[in-house]
Structure 1
Amino acid sequence: MPDLAPPLIAWYRENARDLPWRRDGFGAWGTLVSEFMLQQTPVARVVPRLEEWLTRWPTPADLAAAPPADAVRLWANLGYPRRALWLHRAATEIRDRHDGVVPRDVDALLALTGIGDYTARAVAVFAYGDRHPVVDTNTRRVLARAVDGRSQPGSPAKADLAAMTAILPEAVDDAALVNAAAMELGAVICTARSPRCEVCPLADACAWRAAGYPDTGDERRKQARYEGSDRQARGAVLKVLRDADDHVARAADVIAEWPDPRQRDRAIDSLIADGLVEATGGMLHLPR
């Protein structure tokens, strides 16, 4: 297999976007918050929200001291709001178990609420400079094409970590750069629908290009349409409760105009089950 590290590093040094979490001194807590926010959410929506969060809660202890409702409210329209609750719980665990310091050890990170293989290794690598494989959706697509000659990656698997490890240089700093570069390449060049192969630094080494860009199928799970979905109903309920500040609202009044009352009630029930909404005497409010 060609050595992909040198062209990835050279390209990244010249072309990496200037993003807050890539700046010197950003810190492990900022890295952790950014990784929570970036899951299935575009960078452009994350950056302003991230700056708000870190201004209001510059340490895990600051967030842990706030009511969970504040975290859900400030999460606003980032989507998948359970992440706000998980981040609040993780902050509490960091305060109580790790003296308020985001742990460096991958296993310790994995033990925190809401943190999986990707986030744990991302914090260890990008905040602390350790050598681990970091694999997100963009990385998996780059590896599928450049190494395996496939048009799209398969379903996420533990083997992805081994595949990324295989292209990492031994030098710790270079390994971190390759992790970041593979993610960046997948985000801006080796995209899912319109890859810009003519400007890709891996063009000469890419197995998919060498094979003539075959369509090898797409096993990615398709996301359900948002319009008219239960997710949209959940979002509408949460918006009402976020805008209500500390007040509560009668369940029957929340998005009363929603065209499908059964879907509205199902959305409320699911939000209560997820801990994002609490019900007290027929009244709804964010978690306290």
Structure 2
Amino acid sequence: MTLPGTDELAKLHHALDDWFAETARDLPWREPDCSPWGILVSEVMLQQTPVVRVLPVWLDWMERWPTPAHLANEPSGEAVRHWGRLGYPRRALRLHAAAVAIRDNHSGDVPDDYPELLGLPGVGGYTAAAVAAFAFGKRETVVDTNIRRVHARLVSGHALPAQALTAAEMRLADALLPDDRHLSVRWNASVMELGAIVCTARSPKCADCPVRSSCAWLAAGEPPPSYTPKGQAWHGTDRQVRGAVMAVLRVAATPIPREMFEQAPADLGFAPTDVGIPLAALHRLNSAPEQLERALTGLLRDGLAEVHDGGLRLPA
């Protein structure tokens, strides 16, 4: 791998900056008046989740909880309830915990520097760097999956980045980051956007790439990846059963007796309720009793559910 020279790197910076100015998607968390809280919420929601699924949930959250204090003053279960079907609902609990910390320890304002952001519950290195950059204009090295893939192809000549983030990748990202603070923020955003809509994992649109003439991967003849990415299975997994149980709890106004997860309500003599549809969906999975038990136990262990009045509900 050979790093671009000073002049070539400056050309890359400005080519992507110009491209981003013309083609970037119009997203509400990119608007100049979006609050740091809105950007923090978007960054957590967008982890492993596409924009099209995040957008309606983000809009609902920001209308419902426009500041960290609004969310912190609600039970954590409400964050889980309104997480909808974004998946990985522990992220909702972490956002709630971060909101409480912001309310109690930061006078209700999202902290504006990396170390303090990193000190918030559930905020890791990527999220802290992204919020510092995109909410506060700080020069921080932001590295997500899309950015890693662009760097791998553009500079390293690899079809895909390593399967896990390496120190070498972080050093490369640091070396590519513009010295100018404003341009560094734009660079982070533009490389991320390029990876999301052009330099995609499976079908890159190289003809649309504004820096294709500098791409080491194209110059090398598009060598194949050294490994085959494996998507996460869903059907028949414990994750699917957990998701089906969560769908029941999200619509339930009162605790759900454990037996209702194990048998259809009608078979137990219960009248139909607003939980009937998600319960029916859960039962159609025909999961083994031990798999359902693992799901229920895991949700309780992870704090996504709690026992109350002999039944299960979202955390209060």
TM-score range, shorter chain: over 0.9
The 8 Å contact of residues 305 and 315 in structure 2, kept in 1 or not, is answered as yes
**Residues 111-260 of structure 1: matches in 2 within 5 Å?**
111-154=119-162, 155-218=164-227, 220=229, 222-245=230-253, 247-254=254-261, 256=263, 257=283, 258-259=285-286, 260=288
In the alignment, which residue of structure 1 is the partner of 2:303? 275
What's 1:40 paired with? Answer: 48
Instruction: Indicate which of 98, 108, 115 corresponds to 1:107.
Output: 115
Could you tell me whether the CA contact under 8 Å between 1:203 and 1:209 is conserved in 2? yes
Q: Given residue 36 of structure 2, which amino acid in structure 1 is its aligned partner?
A: A
Structure 1 pair 49–161 and aligned structure 2 pair: CA distance change class (3 A)? same
Alignment gaps of 5+ in structure 2: 264-282
Q: Unaligned stretches of 5+ in structure 1?
A: none
Report the Cα distance in structure 2 between the residues aligned to 1:169 and 1:76, rounded to whole angstroms.
38
Q: How many residues align?
A: 286
Contact 2:37–2:68, Cα closer than 8 Å, also in 1: yes
3-state SS of 1:279 partner? strand
User: CA contact under 8 A between 1:134 and 1:161: conserved in structure 2?
Assistant: no
> What SS is found at the alignment partner of 2:107?
coil
Instruction: Answer yes or no: is the 8 Å Cα contact 1:153–1:219 preserved in 2.
Output: no
Q: What is the DSSP-based 3-state SS (H/G/I as helix, E as strand, rest coil) of the residue aligned with 2:156? A: coil
**Whole-angstrom CA distance in 1 between matches of 2:94 and 2:31:** 25
Q: Do the aligned partners of 1:138 and 1:191 also contact (CA within 8 Å) in 2?
A: yes
Task: Specify the alignment match of 2:27 in structure 1.
Answer: 19
Q: Distance in 2 between matches of 1:160 and 1:101?
A: 32
Which of structures 1 and 2 has the bigger CA Rg? 2
CA separation of 1:93 and 1:158: change in aligned 2, threshold 3 A: farther
Displacement of 1:242:
1.0
1:219 is displaced (CA, Å) by: 6.7
The residue type paired with residue 160 of structure 1 is E
My pick for the range that moved more, 154-163 or 264-273, is 154-163
- Identity rate, percent: 50
The offset of 1:165, in angstroms, is 2.0
In structure 2, what residue type is equivalent to 1:261?
A: P
8 Å contact 2:255–2:309 — kept in the other structure? no
The alignment partner of 1:166 has SS state of: helix
Q: Which residue of 1 aligns with 2:279?
A: none
- CA-based RMSD of the aligned residues comes to 1.3
Is the contact between residue 152 and residue 219 of structure 1 (CA under 8 Å) also seen in structure 2? no
TM-score computed with the length of structure 1 as normaliser: 0.96
**Residue 176 of structure 1 aligns to which amino acid in structure 2?**
V
Counterpart residue number, 2:62? 54
1:93/1:112 CA distance change after superposition, 3 Å? same
2: CA distance, partners of 1:110 / 1:235: 29
1:106 shift after superposition: 0.6
